[in-house]
Protein backbone atom coordinates (compact mmCIF):
# COMPACT_ATOMS: atom_id res chain seq x y z
CA UNK A 1 0.00 0.00 0.00
CA UNK A 2 1.07 3.58 -0.54
CA UNK A 3 1.98 5.75 2.39
CA UNK A 4 -0.98 8.10 1.86
CA UNK A 5 -3.41 8.45 4.68
CA UNK A 6 -6.82 6.89 4.26
CA UNK A 7 -9.42 9.58 3.62
CA UNK A 8 -12.66 8.79 5.45
CA UNK A 9 -16.05 9.11 3.81
CA UNK A 10 -17.55 12.54 4.24
CA UNK A 11 -20.36 12.50 6.76
CA UNK A 12 -23.69 14.22 6.25
CA UNK A 13 -23.49 17.98 6.28
CA UNK A 14 -24.73 19.71 9.38
CA UNK A 15 -28.11 21.33 8.79
CA UNK A 16 -28.00 25.06 8.37
CA UNK A 17 -29.03 26.95 11.46
CA UNK A 18 -31.48 29.01 9.43
CA UNK A 19 -32.80 28.50 5.91
CA UNK A 20 -32.29 31.45 3.56
CA UNK A 21 -35.29 33.63 2.90
CA UNK A 22 -37.34 32.79 -0.19
CA UNK A 23 -36.70 34.99 -3.27
CA UNK A 24 -38.29 38.42 -3.00
CA UNK A 25 -37.56 42.05 -3.76
CA UNK A 26 -39.00 44.55 -1.31
CA UNK A 27 -37.85 47.55 -3.35
CA UNK A 28 -39.61 46.28 -6.49
CA UNK A 29 -42.83 45.70 -4.55
CA UNK A 30 -42.65 49.21 -3.07
CA UNK A 31 -41.88 50.76 -6.47
CA UNK A 32 -44.83 48.95 -8.08
CA UNK A 33 -47.28 50.13 -5.41
CA UNK A 34 -45.92 53.68 -5.64
CA UNK A 35 -46.22 53.74 -9.44
CA UNK A 36 -49.84 52.61 -9.22
CA UNK A 37 -50.68 55.26 -6.64
CA UNK A 38 -49.06 57.90 -8.81
CA UNK A 39 -50.57 56.67 -12.07
CA UNK A 40 -53.50 54.29 -11.44
CA UNK A 41 -54.39 54.04 -15.16
CA UNK A 42 -51.51 51.52 -15.40
CA UNK A 43 -53.46 49.00 -13.30
CA UNK A 44 -55.17 47.12 -16.20
CA UNK A 45 -51.77 46.28 -17.71
CA UNK A 46 -50.25 45.35 -14.35
CA UNK A 47 -53.26 43.17 -13.43
CA UNK A 48 -52.38 40.86 -16.33
CA UNK A 49 -49.10 40.06 -14.55
CA UNK A 50 -49.67 40.44 -10.83
CA UNK A 51 -52.26 39.40 -8.27
CA UNK A 52 -52.19 40.26 -4.53
CA UNK A 53 -50.77 36.84 -3.66
CA UNK A 54 -47.70 37.48 -5.82
CA UNK A 55 -46.39 40.00 -3.29
CA UNK A 56 -44.09 38.51 -0.66
CA UNK A 57 -45.14 40.81 2.18
CA UNK A 58 -48.69 40.47 3.49
CA UNK A 59 -48.95 44.25 4.01
CA UNK A 60 -48.12 44.80 0.35
CA UNK A 61 -50.73 42.22 -0.64
CA UNK A 62 -53.36 44.23 1.28
CA UNK A 63 -52.24 47.52 -0.27
CA UNK A 64 -52.40 46.12 -3.82
CA UNK A 65 -55.87 44.68 -3.20
CA UNK A 66 -57.02 48.08 -1.88
CA UNK A 67 -55.62 49.84 -4.95
CA UNK A 68 -57.57 47.44 -7.21
CA UNK A 69 -60.78 48.00 -5.28
CA UNK A 70 -60.43 51.80 -5.20
CA UNK A 71 -59.63 52.04 -8.91
CA UNK A 72 -62.64 49.84 -9.69
CA UNK A 73 -64.77 52.23 -7.64
CA UNK A 74 -63.28 55.20 -9.51
CA UNK A 75 -61.60 56.47 -6.31
CA UNK A 76 -58.05 57.83 -6.42
CA UNK A 77 -55.73 55.33 -4.62
CA UNK A 78 -53.82 57.79 -2.42
CA UNK A 79 -52.13 56.74 0.80
CA UNK A 80 -54.79 58.53 2.84
CA UNK A 81 -57.61 56.73 0.99
CA UNK A 82 -55.89 53.34 1.21
CA UNK A 83 -55.06 53.38 4.95
CA UNK A 84 -58.67 53.22 6.08
CA UNK A 85 -59.21 49.89 4.32
CA UNK A 86 -56.11 48.08 5.60
CA UNK A 87 -56.40 45.38 8.23
CA UNK A 88 -53.47 46.77 10.19
CA UNK A 89 -52.87 50.49 10.92
CA UNK A 90 -49.10 50.15 10.46
CA UNK A 91 -46.75 48.84 7.76
CA UNK A 92 -43.20 47.85 8.72
CA UNK A 93 -43.54 49.68 12.04
CA UNK A 94 -44.73 52.95 10.47
CA UNK A 95 -48.23 54.39 10.28
CA UNK A 96 -49.66 53.11 7.01
CA UNK A 97 -50.19 56.51 5.41
CA UNK A 98 -46.64 57.58 6.37
CA UNK A 99 -45.18 54.40 4.88
CA UNK A 100 -47.14 54.85 1.66
CA UNK A 101 -46.22 58.54 1.38
CA UNK A 102 -42.55 57.63 1.84
CA UNK A 103 -42.47 54.98 -0.90
CA UNK A 104 -44.23 57.41 -3.28
CA UNK A 105 -41.65 60.08 -2.48
CA UNK A 106 -38.79 57.60 -3.02
CA UNK A 107 -40.23 56.26 -6.29
CA UNK A 108 -37.71 56.42 -9.13
CA UNK A 109 -40.36 56.65 -11.86
CA UNK A 110 -43.98 56.19 -12.78
CA UNK A 111 -43.65 53.08 -14.97
CA UNK A 112 -45.21 50.08 -13.25
CA UNK A 113 -44.71 47.37 -15.91
CA UNK A 114 -41.02 46.63 -15.27
CA UNK A 115 -41.58 46.39 -11.51
CA UNK A 116 -44.58 44.11 -12.10
CA UNK A 117 -42.41 41.68 -14.04
CA UNK A 118 -39.92 41.49 -11.18
CA UNK A 119 -42.64 40.97 -8.56
CA UNK A 120 -44.20 38.18 -10.63
CA UNK A 121 -40.82 36.58 -11.33
CA UNK A 122 -40.02 36.47 -7.62
CA UNK A 123 -43.42 34.92 -6.92
CA UNK A 124 -42.81 32.28 -9.57
CA UNK A 125 -39.42 31.45 -8.07
CA UNK A 126 -41.03 30.97 -4.67
CA UNK A 127 -43.63 28.71 -6.23
CA UNK A 128 -40.84 26.72 -7.92
CA UNK A 129 -39.18 26.26 -4.53
CA UNK A 130 -42.46 24.95 -3.14
CA UNK A 131 -42.75 22.44 -6.00
CA UNK A 132 -39.16 21.31 -5.47
CA UNK A 133 -39.57 20.99 -1.71
CA UNK A 134 -42.78 19.02 -2.21
CA UNK A 135 -41.00 16.66 -4.60
CA UNK A 136 -38.13 16.14 -2.14
CA UNK A 137 -40.61 15.44 0.65
CA UNK A 138 -42.60 12.98 -1.45
CA UNK A 139 -39.51 11.23 -2.81
CA UNK A 140 -38.33 10.62 0.76
CA UNK A 141 -41.53 9.70 2.52
CA UNK A 142 -44.35 8.72 0.12
CA UNK A 143 -45.49 5.12 0.66
CA UNK A 144 -44.39 2.27 -1.58
CA UNK A 145 -47.69 2.22 -3.47
CA UNK A 146 -46.89 5.65 -4.94
CA UNK A 147 -44.83 5.13 -8.10
CA UNK A 148 -41.93 7.46 -8.83
CA UNK A 149 -43.43 8.06 -12.28
CA UNK A 150 -46.60 9.42 -10.68
CA UNK A 151 -44.54 11.90 -8.67
CA UNK A 152 -42.74 13.02 -11.83
CA UNK A 153 -46.02 13.52 -13.68
CA UNK A 154 -47.52 15.52 -10.81
CA UNK A 155 -44.41 17.71 -10.72
CA UNK A 156 -44.50 18.21 -14.49
CA UNK A 157 -48.10 19.39 -14.24
CA UNK A 158 -47.27 21.82 -11.42
CA UNK A 159 -44.32 23.24 -13.35
CA UNK A 160 -46.49 23.58 -16.44
CA UNK A 161 -49.02 25.57 -14.41
CA UNK A 162 -46.20 27.85 -13.27
CA UNK A 163 -44.86 28.50 -16.74
CA UNK A 164 -47.54 31.03 -17.74
CA UNK A 165 -45.59 33.93 -16.24
CA UNK A 166 -46.47 36.72 -18.66
CA UNK A 167 -49.39 37.44 -20.94
CA UNK A 168 -48.44 36.60 -24.51
CA UNK A 169 -48.80 39.23 -27.21
CA UNK A 170 -51.35 37.27 -29.23
CA UNK A 171 -53.56 36.89 -26.13
CA UNK A 172 -53.35 40.45 -24.80
CA UNK A 173 -56.54 42.39 -24.21
CA UNK A 174 -57.43 45.33 -26.44
CA UNK A 175 -59.92 48.18 -26.47
CA UNK A 176 -62.16 48.59 -29.52
CA UNK A 177 -59.90 51.38 -30.81
CA UNK A 178 -56.75 49.26 -30.33
CA UNK A 179 -58.44 46.17 -31.75
CA UNK A 180 -59.67 47.85 -34.92
CA UNK A 181 -56.32 49.54 -35.56
CA UNK A 182 -54.60 46.18 -35.09
CA UNK A 183 -57.04 44.38 -37.39
CA UNK A 184 -56.73 46.97 -40.17
CA UNK A 185 -52.95 46.80 -40.01
CA UNK A 186 -53.06 42.99 -39.97
CA UNK A 187 -55.34 42.80 -43.03
CA UNK A 188 -53.14 45.25 -44.93
CA UNK A 189 -50.00 43.29 -44.01
CA UNK A 190 -51.57 39.96 -44.99
CA UNK A 191 -52.69 41.32 -48.37
CA UNK A 192 -49.27 42.82 -49.11
CA UNK A 193 -47.38 39.73 -47.92
CA UNK A 194 -45.59 41.58 -45.11
CA UNK A 195 -46.77 38.93 -42.64
CA UNK A 196 -47.42 35.28 -43.31
CA UNK A 197 -50.86 33.74 -43.12
CA UNK A 198 -51.82 32.36 -39.71
CA UNK A 199 -53.14 29.19 -41.34
CA UNK A 200 -51.17 26.14 -42.48
CA UNK A 201 -52.28 24.38 -45.68
CA UNK A 202 -53.67 20.86 -45.33
CA UNK A 203 -52.49 20.07 -48.86
CA UNK A 204 -56.12 19.25 -49.77
CA UNK A 205 -57.38 22.14 -51.89
CA UNK A 206 -61.08 21.71 -51.08
CA UNK A 207 -60.36 21.39 -47.35
CA UNK A 208 -58.25 24.55 -47.41
CA UNK A 209 -61.05 26.35 -49.23
CA UNK A 210 -63.84 25.47 -46.77
CA UNK A 211 -61.65 26.19 -43.71
CA UNK A 212 -60.32 29.49 -45.08
CA UNK A 213 -56.75 28.34 -45.45
CA UNK A 214 -56.39 25.03 -43.62
CA UNK A 215 -55.15 24.40 -40.09
CA UNK A 216 -55.83 27.58 -38.10
CA UNK A 217 -53.48 28.57 -35.28
CA UNK A 218 -55.12 28.67 -31.88
CA UNK A 219 -57.69 26.02 -32.81
CA UNK A 220 -58.41 22.43 -31.76
CA UNK A 221 -59.39 20.07 -34.58
CA UNK A 222 -60.84 16.58 -34.18
CA UNK A 223 -60.25 13.88 -36.79
CA UNK A 224 -62.68 11.11 -35.94
CA UNK A 225 -63.94 7.83 -37.35
CA UNK A 226 -64.74 4.22 -36.59
CA UNK A 227 -61.89 1.66 -36.68
CA UNK A 228 -60.76 1.01 -40.25
CA UNK A 229 -62.03 4.33 -41.61
CA UNK A 230 -58.51 5.69 -42.06
CA UNK A 231 -57.79 8.06 -39.17
CA UNK A 232 -54.05 7.30 -39.16
CA UNK A 233 -54.02 7.26 -42.97
CA UNK A 234 -55.49 10.76 -43.10
CA UNK A 235 -53.17 11.96 -40.34
CA UNK A 236 -50.14 10.69 -42.25
CA UNK A 237 -50.93 12.64 -45.42
CA UNK A 238 -52.19 15.77 -43.64
CA UNK A 239 -49.15 15.99 -41.35
CA UNK A 240 -46.79 15.43 -44.31
CA UNK A 241 -48.52 18.16 -46.31
CA UNK A 242 -48.47 20.64 -43.42
CA UNK A 243 -44.76 19.99 -42.78
CA UNK A 244 -43.88 21.45 -46.18
CA UNK A 245 -44.47 25.00 -44.96
CA UNK A 246 -44.47 24.89 -41.13
CA UNK A 247 -43.11 22.83 -38.27
CA UNK A 248 -45.20 19.76 -37.46
CA UNK A 249 -45.02 17.62 -34.33
CA UNK A 250 -46.68 14.19 -34.39
CA UNK A 251 -47.44 12.20 -31.23
CA UNK A 252 -47.96 8.66 -32.45
CA UNK A 253 -49.32 6.93 -29.35
CA UNK A 254 -51.02 3.99 -31.08
CA UNK A 255 -48.72 2.41 -33.68
CA UNK A 256 -44.99 1.72 -33.54
CA UNK A 257 -42.28 4.01 -34.83
CA UNK A 258 -41.37 1.72 -37.75
CA UNK A 259 -45.01 1.53 -38.83
CA UNK A 260 -45.51 5.30 -38.83
CA UNK A 261 -42.29 6.00 -40.74
CA UNK A 262 -43.26 3.21 -43.17
CA UNK A 263 -46.59 4.95 -43.67
CA UNK A 264 -44.83 8.20 -44.61
CA UNK A 265 -42.56 6.34 -47.03
CA UNK A 266 -45.49 4.47 -48.59
CA UNK A 267 -47.43 7.70 -49.04
CA UNK A 268 -44.55 9.47 -50.78
CA UNK A 269 -43.44 6.42 -52.79
CA UNK A 270 -46.89 5.96 -54.33
CA UNK A 271 -46.99 5.13 -58.05
CA UNK A 272 -50.27 4.62 -59.92
CA UNK A 273 -51.16 0.93 -60.27
CA UNK A 274 -47.97 0.04 -58.37
CA UNK A 275 -48.58 1.18 -54.78
CA UNK A 276 -46.01 0.13 -52.21
CA UNK A 277 -47.95 -0.94 -49.07
CA UNK A 278 -46.52 0.29 -45.79
CA UNK A 279 -46.69 -3.28 -44.46
CA UNK A 280 -44.25 -4.43 -47.13
CA UNK A 281 -41.91 -1.57 -46.27
CA UNK A 282 -42.10 -2.54 -42.59
CA UNK A 283 -41.22 -6.16 -43.38
CA UNK A 284 -38.34 -5.02 -45.58
CA UNK A 285 -37.28 -8.47 -46.83
CA UNK A 286 -39.20 -8.92 -50.11
CA UNK A 287 -38.46 -5.54 -51.66
CA UNK A 288 -37.37 -5.38 -55.28
CA UNK A 289 -34.56 -3.11 -56.45
CA UNK A 290 -36.91 -0.56 -58.01
CA UNK A 291 -38.97 -0.48 -54.80
CA UNK A 292 -35.84 0.18 -52.76
CA UNK A 293 -35.04 3.05 -55.14
CA UNK A 294 -38.54 4.47 -54.62
CA UNK A 295 -38.13 4.22 -50.85
CA UNK A 296 -34.77 5.99 -50.99
CA UNK A 297 -36.28 8.75 -53.12
CA UNK A 298 -39.21 9.09 -50.70
CA UNK A 299 -36.80 9.20 -47.76
CA UNK A 300 -34.85 12.07 -49.35
CA UNK A 301 -38.11 13.99 -49.79
CA UNK A 302 -39.21 13.32 -46.21
CA UNK A 303 -35.89 14.67 -44.96
CA UNK A 304 -36.83 18.04 -46.46
CA UNK A 305 -39.95 18.28 -44.29
CA UNK A 306 -40.15 20.13 -40.97
CA UNK A 307 -41.59 17.12 -39.16
CA UNK A 308 -40.78 15.46 -35.84
CA UNK A 309 -42.27 12.16 -34.69
CA UNK A 310 -42.69 11.21 -31.03
CA UNK A 311 -43.65 7.58 -30.44
CA UNK A 312 -44.68 6.66 -26.90
CA UNK A 313 -47.24 4.14 -25.62
CA UNK A 314 -49.07 7.02 -23.93
CA UNK A 315 -48.54 10.62 -22.84
CA UNK A 316 -50.00 13.10 -20.39
CA UNK A 317 -51.20 16.51 -21.48
CA UNK A 318 -48.31 17.98 -19.46
CA UNK A 319 -45.78 15.85 -21.37
CA UNK A 320 -47.33 16.92 -24.66
CA UNK A 321 -47.16 20.57 -23.61
CA UNK A 322 -43.50 20.30 -22.59
CA UNK A 323 -42.63 18.59 -25.89
CA UNK A 324 -44.46 21.34 -27.81
CA UNK A 325 -42.46 24.04 -26.04
CA UNK A 326 -39.19 22.18 -26.65
CA UNK A 327 -39.97 21.76 -30.35
CA UNK A 328 -40.85 25.44 -30.67
CA UNK A 329 -37.45 26.35 -29.23
CA UNK A 330 -35.67 23.91 -31.55
CA UNK A 331 -37.44 25.23 -34.65
CA UNK A 332 -36.90 28.85 -33.62
CA UNK A 333 -33.14 28.30 -33.81
CA UNK A 334 -33.68 27.41 -37.50
CA UNK A 335 -35.89 30.43 -38.11
CA UNK A 336 -39.05 28.27 -38.25
CA UNK A 337 -42.27 28.16 -36.28
CA UNK A 338 -44.31 25.21 -35.08
CA UNK A 339 -47.66 25.17 -36.89
CA UNK A 340 -49.54 21.94 -36.24
CA UNK A 341 -49.45 19.21 -33.58
CA UNK A 342 -51.11 15.84 -34.32
CA UNK A 343 -52.04 13.37 -31.55
CA UNK A 344 -52.93 9.80 -32.52
CA UNK A 345 -55.09 9.23 -30.58
CA UNK A 346 -57.36 10.32 -27.68
CA UNK A 347 -57.56 6.92 -25.96
CA UNK A 348 -53.83 6.98 -25.14
CA UNK A 349 -53.70 10.48 -23.65
CA UNK A 350 -53.46 10.09 -19.87
CA UNK A 351 -54.93 12.55 -17.39
CA UNK A 352 -54.53 13.44 -13.74
CA UNK A 353 -56.31 11.52 -10.99
CA UNK A 354 -58.74 14.40 -10.48
CA UNK A 355 -61.58 12.64 -12.32
CA UNK A 356 -60.31 9.07 -12.03
CA UNK A 357 -63.01 6.61 -13.06
CA UNK A 358 -65.22 9.22 -14.76
CA UNK A 359 -64.30 9.00 -18.43
CA UNK A 360 -66.62 11.84 -19.49
CA UNK A 361 -64.89 14.31 -17.16
CA UNK A 362 -61.45 12.91 -18.06
CA UNK A 363 -62.07 13.53 -21.76
CA UNK A 364 -63.37 17.00 -20.96
CA UNK A 365 -60.11 17.71 -19.11
CA UNK A 366 -58.08 16.49 -22.10
CA UNK A 367 -59.98 18.45 -24.75
CA UNK A 368 -60.10 21.59 -22.63
CA UNK A 369 -56.37 21.43 -21.89
CA UNK A 370 -55.47 20.83 -25.54
CA UNK A 371 -57.69 23.73 -26.62
CA UNK A 372 -55.84 25.99 -24.16
CA UNK A 373 -52.50 24.63 -25.40
CA UNK A 374 -53.45 25.50 -29.00
CA UNK A 375 -54.40 29.02 -28.00
CA UNK A 376 -51.47 29.73 -25.66
CA UNK A 377 -48.80 28.31 -27.99
CA UNK A 378 -50.38 29.70 -31.19
CA UNK A 379 -50.59 26.32 -32.91
CA UNK A 380 -53.30 24.09 -34.34
CA UNK A 381 -53.80 20.86 -32.38
CA UNK A 382 -55.31 17.95 -34.31
CA UNK A 383 -56.60 15.20 -32.01
CA UNK A 384 -57.62 11.85 -33.47
CA UNK A 385 -60.66 10.29 -31.81
CA UNK A 386 -62.91 7.27 -32.15
CA UNK A 387 -66.63 7.36 -32.83
CA UNK A 388 -69.00 5.25 -30.76
CA UNK A 389 -70.53 1.98 -31.94
CA UNK A 390 -73.94 3.54 -32.43
CA UNK A 391 -72.76 4.40 -35.96
CA UNK A 392 -72.93 0.69 -36.82
CA UNK A 393 -76.21 -0.11 -35.08
CA UNK A 394 -78.38 -2.57 -37.00
CA UNK A 395 -81.34 -0.23 -37.36
CA UNK A 396 -79.30 2.69 -38.64
CA UNK A 397 -79.91 3.18 -42.36
CA UNK A 398 -77.23 5.82 -43.02
CA UNK A 399 -73.94 5.04 -41.32
CA UNK A 400 -72.33 8.32 -42.18
CA UNK A 401 -71.24 9.75 -38.83
CA UNK A 402 -72.28 13.02 -37.22
CA UNK A 403 -70.78 14.97 -34.33
CA UNK A 404 -73.36 13.29 -32.08
CA UNK A 405 -71.43 10.04 -32.61
CA UNK A 406 -68.30 11.32 -30.86
CA UNK A 407 -67.46 8.81 -28.19
CA UNK A 408 -67.76 9.30 -24.40
CA UNK A 409 -68.08 13.07 -24.08
CA UNK A 410 -70.05 15.95 -25.57
CA UNK A 411 -67.24 18.25 -24.47
CA UNK A 412 -65.20 17.06 -27.44
CA UNK A 413 -67.68 18.70 -29.78
CA UNK A 414 -67.94 21.75 -27.54
CA UNK A 415 -64.18 22.38 -27.32
CA UNK A 416 -63.33 21.60 -30.95
CA UNK A 417 -63.24 24.35 -33.56
CA UNK A 418 -63.35 21.90 -36.47
CA UNK A 419 -64.58 18.30 -36.51
CA UNK A 420 -63.59 16.09 -39.45
CA UNK A 421 -65.49 12.80 -39.68
CA UNK A 422 -64.23 9.99 -41.91
CA UNK A 423 -66.52 7.64 -43.84
CA UNK A 424 -65.49 4.91 -46.28
CA UNK A 425 -68.42 3.01 -47.78
CA UNK A 426 -66.05 0.25 -48.88
CA UNK A 427 -65.62 -0.91 -45.25
CA UNK A 428 -69.30 -1.82 -45.04
CA UNK A 429 -69.40 -3.16 -48.60
CA UNK A 430 -66.58 -5.59 -47.80
CA UNK A 431 -68.50 -6.89 -44.78
CA UNK A 432 -71.68 -7.26 -46.84
CA UNK A 433 -69.83 -9.07 -49.63
CA UNK A 434 -68.33 -11.58 -47.22
CA UNK A 435 -71.78 -12.31 -45.83
CA UNK A 436 -73.70 -12.51 -49.13
CA UNK A 437 -71.22 -12.82 -52.04
CA UNK A 438 -73.62 -10.60 -54.02
CA UNK A 439 -72.35 -9.60 -57.52
CA UNK A 440 -73.97 -6.17 -57.28
CA UNK A 441 -72.18 -5.53 -53.99
CA UNK A 442 -68.90 -6.69 -55.54
CA UNK A 443 -69.31 -4.24 -58.42
CA UNK A 444 -70.16 -1.43 -56.03
CA UNK A 445 -67.07 -2.26 -53.93
CA UNK A 446 -64.80 -2.00 -56.98
CA UNK A 447 -66.30 1.38 -57.78
CA UNK A 448 -65.99 2.70 -54.19
CA UNK A 449 -62.81 1.03 -52.94
CA UNK A 450 -60.79 4.28 -52.98
CA UNK A 451 -63.62 6.66 -52.06
CA UNK A 452 -63.29 8.66 -48.84
CA UNK A 453 -65.93 11.08 -47.59
CA UNK A 454 -64.52 13.78 -45.32
CA UNK A 455 -67.50 15.19 -43.44
CA UNK A 456 -67.04 18.57 -41.77
CA UNK A 457 -69.43 18.12 -38.86
CA UNK A 458 -68.31 21.39 -37.28
CA UNK A 459 -66.40 24.23 -38.87
CA UNK A 460 -65.92 27.56 -37.11
CA UNK A 461 -63.92 28.85 -40.07
CA UNK A 462 -66.55 28.16 -42.72
CA UNK A 463 -69.49 26.01 -43.72
CA UNK A 464 -70.21 22.39 -42.85
CA UNK A 465 -70.14 20.12 -45.88
CA UNK A 466 -68.85 16.81 -47.22
CA UNK A 467 -65.72 16.53 -49.37
CA UNK A 468 -65.25 13.58 -51.73
CA UNK A 469 -61.60 12.49 -51.60
CA UNK A 470 -59.44 9.62 -52.81
CA UNK A 471 -57.86 7.17 -50.38
CA UNK A 472 -55.54 4.16 -50.49
CA UNK A 473 -55.42 2.65 -47.01
CA UNK A 474 -52.61 0.17 -47.75
CA UNK A 475 -50.43 2.98 -49.09
CA UNK A 476 -51.50 5.23 -46.17
CA UNK A 477 -52.44 8.03 -48.55
CA UNK A 478 -55.31 10.42 -49.18
CA UNK A 479 -55.58 13.07 -51.90
CA UNK A 480 -57.95 15.52 -53.56
CA UNK A 481 -58.18 13.27 -56.63
CA UNK A 482 -56.95 9.79 -57.53
CA UNK A 483 -53.17 9.67 -57.65
CA UNK A 484 -52.73 8.56 -61.23
CA UNK A 485 -53.90 9.20 -64.82
CA UNK A 486 -57.40 10.71 -65.05
Report the alpha-carbon distance of residue 21 to residue 126 in Å, rounded.
10
The pair phi, psi for residue 20, each rounded to 5°, is: -65, 155
The pair phi, psi for residue 477, each rounded to 5°, is: -140, 140
Parts of the chain with a pLDDT under 50 = 1-2, 9-11, 166, 486
Report the alpha-carbon distance of residue 29 to residue 56 in Å, rounded.
8
Greatest C-alpha distance within the chain: 97
Give the pLDDT confidence of 385-426 residue by residue, as tens digits: 988 888 777 777 788 888 888 866 567 888 899 999 999 998
Report the alpha-carbon distance of residue 451 to residue 380 in Å, rounded.
27
Distance of CA 205 to the CA centre of its chain: 26
pLDDT value at position 195? 59
- Contact (CB, 8 A) for 386 and 346: yes
pLDDT value at position 385? 92
Report the alpha-carbon distance of residue 318 to residue 473 in Å, rounded.
32
Rg of the chain over Cα atoms, rounded to whole angstroms, equals 29
Question: What domains does the chain contain, in order, with CATH numbers?
Answer: 26-118 (1.10.860.10), 197-479 (3.40.50.300)
Please state whether 88 falls in left (phi above 0), alpha (psi between -120 and 50) or beta: beta
pLDDT value at position 210? 94
pLDDT value at position 353? 67
Report angle CA 365, 366, 369 to the nearest 5 degrees.
Answer: 80
Q: Half-sphere exposure of 428 toward its Cβ, with a 13 Å CA cutoff?
A: 15
Report the alpha-carbon distance of residue 162 to residue 91 in Å, rounded.
30
How would you class 394 by CB atoms within 10 Å of its CB: exposed for 0-12, middle for 13-18, buried for 19 or more?
exposed
Report the alpha-carbon distance of residue 223 to residue 342 in Å, rounded.
10
Report the alpha-carbon distance of residue 464 to residue 53 in Å, rounded.
46
> What pTM did the predictor assign?
0.71
pLDDT value at position 1? 46
Report the alpha-carbon distance of residue 138 to residue 202 in Å, rounded.
46
Q: Half-sphere exposure of 221 toward its Cβ, with a 13 Å CA cutoff?
A: 29
- Contact (CB, 8 A) for 418 and 461: yes
Q: What is the sign of the dihedral through the CA atoms of 56, 57, 62 and 68?
A: negative
Instruction: Of 113, 149, 132, give the one whose Cα is nearest residue 39.
Output: 113
CA-to-CA separations, 292 to 45, 270, 295, 297, in angstroms, rounded: 60, 13, 5, 9
CA-to-CA separations, 360 to 254, 357, 367, 459, 472, in angstroms, rounded: 21, 9, 11, 23, 34
* Share of the chain residues as helix, strand and coil, in percent rounded to the nearest 5: 50, 15, 35
Instruction: Of 157, 317, 196, give the one whose Cα is nearest residue 251.
Output: 317
Report the alpha-carbon distance of residue 298 to residue 277 in Å, rounded.
13
pLDDT value at position 17? 59
Give the pLDDT confidence of 331-390 residue by residue, as tens digits: 888 888 999 999 988 888 887 666 666 777 888 888 888 998 998 888 999 999 988 888
Instruction: Of 256, 275, 250, 253, give the one whose Cα is nearest residue 265.
Output: 275
Give the pLDDT confidence of 60-94 residue by residue, as tens digits: 999 999 988 888 888 888 888 888 888 888 888 88
Beta strands per DSSP E along 256-330: 307-311, 315-316
CA-to-CA separations, 277 to 231, 316, 477, in angstroms, rounded: 17, 32, 10
3-state per-residue secondary structure call for 418-448: EEEEEECHHHHHHHHHHHHCCHHHHHHHHHH
pLDDT value at position 9? 47
What would the DSSP string read from start to end of 45-92? HHHTT--GGGSSSHHHHHHHHHHHHHHHTT----HHHHHTT-SSSEET
Amino acid sequence: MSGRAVIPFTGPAEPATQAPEPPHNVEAEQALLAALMLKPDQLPEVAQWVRPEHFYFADHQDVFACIEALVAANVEPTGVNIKGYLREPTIAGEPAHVYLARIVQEASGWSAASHARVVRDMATRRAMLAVGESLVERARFDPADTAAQAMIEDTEQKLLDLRAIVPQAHLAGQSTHEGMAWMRERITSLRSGLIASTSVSTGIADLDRVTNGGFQRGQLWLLAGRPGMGKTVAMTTLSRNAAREAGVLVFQLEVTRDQQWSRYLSDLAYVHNRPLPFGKIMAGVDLKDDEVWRIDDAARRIEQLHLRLECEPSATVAQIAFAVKAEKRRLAKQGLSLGVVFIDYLKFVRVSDRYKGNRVLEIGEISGSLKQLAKSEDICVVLLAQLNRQVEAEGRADRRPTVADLRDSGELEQDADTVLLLYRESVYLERKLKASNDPETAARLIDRQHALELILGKNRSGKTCTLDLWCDVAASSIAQHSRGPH
